[in-house]
Amino acid sequence: MTDAAATSGVTCLGCGLLCDDLAVSVAGGRITGVAPECTLARAWFGDGTVPAEVRVAGRPATDDAALEAATELLAGARGRLLAWLGPDLVTGAHRAVVELADRLHAVVDTATSPAAAAGILAGQRRGRAASTLGELRNRADLLLCWGTDPSARYPRLLSRYALEPEGTHVGGRAARTLVGVRVGADAGPAGADLSLALGADEELAALAVLRSAVLGQAPAELPAALVPFRELGARLLAARYVGILVDGEGGDAARRPQRAEALIALAQALQHATRATLVVLRAGGNRTGAESLLGWQTGYPFAVDFGGGHPAYLPDDRGLERLGTPRVAAALVAGDWRALPDAAVAALHRLPTVVVGPRASTAPFGPQVALDTGVAGIHEAGNAYRLDDVPLPLTPVLAGPRGAAATLEALARRVAHRLAEA
Amino acid sequence: MTAPHRLRLRGGEVYDPANGVDGAVRDVCIEDGRIVAELADDAPELDVRGMVVMPGGVDIHSHIASSSCNHTRRLLPEEHAADPAAAPLLADGSAGRSGTGGTVPSTFTTGYRYAGLGYTTVFDAAVAPLMARHTHHEMDDTPCIDAGCFILMGNDDYLLRMIDAGDTARARDYVAWLLGATGGYAVKIVNPGGVEAWKTPQRNLGDLDTPLGTTQVTARKILETLTDAANGLGLPHPVHIHCNNLGLPGNAETTLASMRALAGRRAHFTHLQFHCYGAGGGWRSAARELIEYVNGHREVSVDVGQVMFGPATAITADGPVGYLLWKSSGRKWVNVDVELETGCGIVPLYYKDKAAVAALQWAIGLELFLLSDDPWRVVLSTDHPNGASFLAYPDLIQLLMDRNARDERLKTVNQKLLAGTALLDGLTREYTLGEICIITRAGPARLLGLRHKGHLGPGADADVTVYSRQPDLAAMFATPRYVFKGGALVAEEGHLRRAPAGDRLYLRPGYDDAVLPGLRRHFERHGTVRFEHYPVRDLPGRPREVA
C-alpha cells in the first residue's frame, strides 16, 4: 500500500446493509476519510489501527507458541468448550471456528441478538416473505417503516436502497409513499407521507387489524386508535409492491416473538392481492454470514451444540448463557471481544480463554492466549453476507496483522492433528 | 493411509454402456485417478468377482447448494433434529464432519450421503446469479462429489431487455459473460417470464405468447433466445428448461408447446413429471402424449422428476408455484424475490400414497420411464428434494427393475386418478442393469457433455461404484460395496472411508467485450452490488472446455 492512497469500491460492515461503494482514503498508515459520509461507516473504519500482538499467559509469544498453547487448552476442554463467532470476521474465519467446534464437541454462539433470534424462530414457525434489497429499490412503491427510523441505525437504507433511487418499475421519492409507524419509544422515519403512532401494548392488535384488513376481514367496529390501521390496510392493498421495514435488532425483546410472527403473517397475507417483502434490518459485521454458514454446515442458524457429537439446536439454552456454569470449561472467542455482552465479559474473567480476533490482546479478562488479527474488510480480504443473504467480496484498505481466517485455519489443523493422535 | 495410485478391480461384471459393455466380466484398471486400459501384473488389486461394476452416478438435476437450499435448511430445524449425522471415522483415523439430514441435509452430510449411494457427480439445478458466490461457498464444504451449478436466466432483467430490443447477439454475449461471472455450467430457465410477472400485478404467464407486462417479451422468445444462445456458444449442456405452469392440471399442453417451439434445437426439459398433466379438467396423466413426443425427437432430452411417497420439500425459483403450494397446503412458506434475476419459493410437503394427486404423480413418473424408447435421453431424477430425496433413488430403481414389486406397490396407492395411466395397462417392462447404468450415469454424463464421466473407458475419471448383487434391488443400490472417487476408495458398504474435496465443474465461455459497458451501466442504474463485485473469483480448478 502506498503511503497516501484512496481505495474505491470498498464494502462497509458498519451495518447490515454492507454498502459496497465506499471510497476510503489512507495516509500514513491510517484511514483518513470515508465517502460518502455515513456515521456508521466512519465508526466502523475508524483510523484503521489495531494492535498486532501475540500473548500467552499475558506475555509476548510467537505465533507458533500461541497456536500450540491454544491447541493444548482447547483440546483439553473437549466437550466443555464454548466457541463464540464474532461479527467482524470473514466467512473463511467463521468456517474454521465451526470446524473447531465440531471437532471439539463445543457449543457455538454468535452475535445473533435475542431480538433477531426471536425473529428467526418466528420464521421457522411460519416462513418468510422476503427479498433482496434491490427489490425495494426497483419495485417498492409503498414503504412501511414499522417502529423503525432507518436513518439512525441504517443511514443509507432510504437513500441507496429504498426510497430515493429511481427503480426499474417505480420512480424516485415522488413516486413512492413512505409510511411510518411509531411504536412506543421506537420512532418512525422523518418525512413520512403518513405517520401513525401506537403504544407498545397496542402493537399486536394493530398488526392483527392490518392483516384482517388485507384479507378483507377487518371488523366494522374498532377502537378509535386502531381505525387508521384498517385504512392503512387498504393503502397497502392498493400498492403494487409493499416494502415492510423492521429493525431486527434491539428494542424490547420481550414483545418480539409475537411481533415478528405478526409481521411475517402480514407480509404473507399481502401476497394474495399484491406483492410485498418484509425486510428485517440487521446490525453490522458479518453476522448474517455466521448464520448462513452455520445453516449450511449444521442446518441451524445459531445456537448450535456439538456436544452430542453432532449439531443440536438449542435456541433457548445458548452458549453465552452457559458461561459460569460447569458445562463450560474453556472458551474460544473468535472476533473482537468488544462485541460480547457485558455479562459474558465478566464471566470470561473466570475461564481459560483463547481469543483470536481484532484487539484480542486488549481483552480485559486475561485470556490464556491472545492473537491479534486484522478486521474483515479493513485489513483482511474475504467475503461477508449482507442482511439479505447476498454475499459480497471484501477489499482490504490497509495492511494489518495476521489474518483471522488463516490463523483460525492453522489452529483448526493443529487441533485436528492433535485429536487424530490421541 | 493413502490411496494407492494404481488399482485393478478384478473380475467384476462391468456395465459401461458408453463403451458398449453390458455385463461382461472383466477388470477395471485405475491409475492416478483415471481409468487406464491395463496395469502391470504387480499392481494392487481388489477382488470384485460376482459384483456389479458401474461408473459413479451422475445427478443431472438436484438442489444441494444454493441460497434457496440454505433458506430451506434454516426453515426446517425439526427435520434436522430428527436426523442427526455424527462425524464419520475415516480410514486414516481422523474424523470427518458432523451434520444433519432431513430433506435438505447439511453440506458435509450431503456429500457423504451421495458418495455412500455411489454418486460422484452432482449438479445444483437452480442458482440465482447474485447468489452464486454462496453456492460456491457451500460446494467448498460438500466433499466427495464433483459439483457444478446451472444459472437462472429465464427472468433476468438485462436479458429480458435484450430480448425486448431484439438484440439476440447481445443476449448471447450476456449469457456467456454471466456463466463465466458466476462459475456456472449451464443455462437454466424456470417458468420463463413467469417469475418476473410474479413480482408484478400480472403474477404469472399462462402460456408461451402472452406478453410480459408492456414489453414484447414472451415465454416463447425467452425459450428461443436462450436455447439459441446456449447452442450457439457450444455449451456442453443445452438449455435446461423448467416449463411454464409447473404443477397445474392441463399443463402438458404448455410443455408440448414449449418442446415444439424449440423443435430441431437441442434442449433439455427437466422434471417432466411435474409438467405432464392432461387437459380436460381435473387431474389426469398426459405421459403418453409427452413421451411420444420425446421418443420421436432426438434433439430433446428430459429428466423425470419422480415423486416417491414420503417427505419432500418444494424448493423452486418458480415463485408463483411456491405461492400456490402454500395456499393449497397451509404449511409454512418462504418466498424470496431476488432483484433483477429470479425468485424463490419453499414449502415442505409430504406425498402420501393414499392421496389421489400424489399417487397420480408417482404413476406418471413411472409411465415416463417405462414408455421411454431411449434411456440416454430420459434420465433419472427426483428433482431432489422436490419429488423426493436423492436417498429414494434405490427404491425407484427397484420399481423400474422389478415388475412384481411395482405391481404390488401399485395396488396399495390411491387409484382414483390412475384410470387411463399406462401403469394400469399392465406395463411389463423391467429395466436391465445396463439401462439403469444409462439413466443414472452414462446418460446424464453424455447430456451434460462430461466426456470424462459416466463411462469406464481409458481416460475417464476413476469414479467407480461396485455393488454386491442382492435379491433386494433397493438394498443393493442403497449400499454399494465400494465407491471410488478419482481412484480413491471413499465409501464401503455405507461407511465413509475418505472425504476428498471434489472438483468444481464450471465454464468460462468467450464473449464480445462490447457487452461490458452497457452491462456496467445496467448495474450502476439498477443493481445494489457494484459491477466489479459481482463476478465470483478464485474458484478451485480450471474452467471446463467449451466447444
- Whether pTM > 0.90 for this model: the answer is yes
The band of B545, judged by pLDDT with boundaries at 50, 70 and 90, is confident
CA distance A241 to A252: 29
Residue B141: closest C-alpha in chain A? A297
- Measured in angstroms, the CA of A70 and the nearest CA of chain B are apart by 20
The confidence score (pLDDT) of residue A298 equals: 98
Question: Is pLDDT above 80 for B178?
Answer: yes
DSSP secondary structure string, B409-432?
Answer: HHHHS--TTTTT-GGGGT------
Among B126, B74, B123, CA closest to B102:
B74
Among B523, B509, B506, CA closest to B176:
B509
**Quick check: A372 and A401 in contact, CB under 8 A?**
yes
Query: What is the Cα B93 distance to its own chain's centre?
Result: 34
Orientation angle between helical segments B67-75 and B132-140, nearest 10 degrees? 70
CB nearest to A134's CB, from B84, B131, B527 = B527
The confidence score (pLDDT) of residue A1 equals: 47
CA distance A188 to A418: 54
Q: Residue B10 pairs with which residues in a beta bridge?
A: B47
Cβ neighbours of A289 in B, within 8 Å: none
Question: Is pLDDT above 50 for B527?
Answer: yes
Exposed / middle / buried, residue B407 (Cβ in 10 Å: 0-12, 13-18, 19+): middle
CA distance B107 to B101: 9
Question: Is pLDDT above 90 for B64?
Answer: yes
Query: Quick one: which H or E segment has residue A263?
Result: helix A256-270
Query: Which of B109, B529, B534, B539 best tests the A interface by mutation, with the highest count of A CBs <10 A?
Result: B529
Read off the C-alpha cell for B517: 459497458
**Quick check: B236 and B546 in contact, CB under 8 A?**
yes
Q: Mapping DSSP to helix (H, G, I), strand (E, B) and coil, where does residue A43 land?
A: helix
A297 shares contact with chain B (CB less than 8 Å): yes
The confidence score (pLDDT) of residue B395 equals: 98
B76 shares contact with chain A (CB less than 8 Å): yes
ipTM over 0.95: yes
Across residues B410-416, what is the average pLDDT? 97
Average per-residue pLDDT in chain B?
97
CA distances from B272 to B256, B302, B303, B373, B521 (A): 11, 7, 6, 15, 38
Residue B323: closest C-alpha in chain A? A271
Across residues B186-206, what is the average pLDDT? 98
CB contact under 8 A, B87 and A102: yes
CB contact under 8 A, A390 and B323: no
CA distance B453 to B441: 8
A273 shares contact with chain B (CB less than 8 Å): no
Q: Residue B146 pairs with which residues in a beta bridge?
A: B121
Q: Residue A353 pairs with which residues in a beta bridge?
A: A331
The confidence score (pLDDT) of residue A251 equals: 67
Question: Is pLDDT above 70 for B534?
Answer: yes
Q: Mapping DSSP to helix (H, G, I), strand (E, B) and coil, where does residue A57 land?
A: coil
Among A321, A292, A289, CA closest to A305:
A321
The confidence score (pLDDT) of residue A256 equals: 66
Across residues B274-303, what is the average pLDDT? 96
CA distance B258 to B245: 11
A422 shares contact with chain B (CB less than 8 Å): no
CB contact under 8 A, A9 and B533: yes
CA distance A43 to A163: 24
Range 160-219 of A in CB contact (< 8 A) with B:
160-161, 166-169
CB contact under 8 A, B336 and A126: no
CB neighbours (10 Å) of residue B535? Answer: 16
Question: Is pLDDT above 90 for B72?
Answer: yes
pLDDT in tens, B205-228: 999 999 999 999 999 999 999 999
**Contacts of B70 by beta carbon, 8 Å cutoff, 6+ apart:** A292, A295, A296, A389, B134, B138
Range 214-233 of A in CB contact (< 8 A) with B:
none
CB contact under 8 A, B141 and A297: yes
The confidence score (pLDDT) of residue A422 equals: 81
Exposed / middle / buried, residue B414 (Cβ in 10 Å: 0-12, 13-18, 19+): middle
Read off the C-alpha cell for A399: 495492511
**Quick check: B268 and B239 in contact, CB under 8 A?**
yes
**Contacts of A234 by beta carbon, 8 Å cutoff, 6+ apart:** A213
CA distance B124 to B135: 9
CA distance A174 to A170: 10
The confidence score (pLDDT) of residue B415 equals: 97
CB contact under 8 A, A393 and B107: no
Sign of CA dihedral A168, A170, A176, A178: negative
The confidence score (pLDDT) of residue B537 equals: 94
The band of B176, judged by pLDDT with boundaries at 50, 70 and 90, is very high
> What is the phi/psi pair of residue A380, to 5°?
-125, 130
B137 shares contact with chain A (CB less than 8 Å): yes
Query: What is the Cα A93 distance to its own chain's centre?
Result: 16
Q: Mapping DSSP to helix (H, G, I), strand (E, B) and coil, where does residue B157 land?
A: helix
State which residues of chain A have pLDDT below 70.
1-3, 251-256
Which region holds residue B420: left if phi is over 0, alpha if psi is between -120 and 50, else beta? left
CB nearest to A134's CB, from B75, B335, B528 = B528
CA distance B541 to B461: 15
CA distance A75 to A57: 17
- Measured in angstroms, the CA of B523 and the nearest CA of chain A are apart by 11
CB nearest to B533's CB, from A20, A123, A124 = A20
**Quick check: B71 and A296 in contact, CB under 8 A?**
no
- Prior bond of B385 cis (ω within 30°): yes
Read off the C-alpha cell for B475: 438394498
Exposed / middle / buried, residue B517 (Cβ in 10 Å: 0-12, 13-18, 19+): exposed
Residue that is written with C-alpha cell 395456499 in the block: B327
**Quick check: B154 and B258 in contact, CB under 8 A?**
no
**Quick check: A349 and A366 in contact, CB under 8 A?**
yes
CA distance B307 to B312: 9
Please count the residue pairs, one from chain A and one from chain B, whose beta carbons lie less than 8 angstroms apart.
195
pLDDT in tens, B356-390: 999 999 999 999 999 999 999 999 999 999 999 99
Among A132, A293, A315, A296, CA closest to B73:
A296
Residue that is written with C-alpha cell 421506537 in the block: A186
The confidence score (pLDDT) of residue A254 equals: 52
Exposed / middle / buried, residue B111 (Cβ in 10 Å: 0-12, 13-18, 19+): buried
The confidence score (pLDDT) of residue B114 equals: 98
DSSP label at residue A31: E
